[in-house]
Amino acid sequence: MLNLIFCVSFSDAGLLGAAIALCGGYGACQTACNTMWVACYAAAGLVAGAATGGATISAAALACNALQGTCMASCAVSFLAA
């Protein structure tokens, strides 16, 4: 899974420029979290996106999912909190 956020602007100055930089940083942070999540699954011998949850989900998949959630939350706190 890859999240991409594209922001386009005719100006890169002032508040608009800051908003564009923030948007790009948040997207890059989420992409890094997703890259880590796929690597975590691969290290556990799993295929990212193939786990359907339920009682049969492995402990490794749950751990990778928890790490991704923590990572995504840190992106939100770092880039979206005022």
Q: How many domains does the chain have?
A: 1
Positive or negative, the CA dihedral 71, 65, 62, 43 is negative
**Position 2 in a domain:** no
- What value does the mean pLDDT take over residues 53-73? 89
DSSP character at residue 49: T
Q: What is the pLDDT of residues 12-53, one digit of tens each?
A: 445 544 555 566 788 888 999 999 999 999 999 998 888 777
The H or E element that residue 69 is part of is helix 59-79
**Residue 55 domain-assigned?**
yes
DSSP structural state of residue 56: G
Two structure tokens written together for 2: 């890859």
Average pLDDT over residues 60-74: 93
State the pTM of this model: 0.68
Give the pair of three-digit tokens for residue 65: 């999912």
Q: The domain containing residue 26 runs over which residues?
A: 14-79
Nearest to 37 by CA among 25, 51, 24: 51
User: Is 7 among the domain residues?
Assistant: no
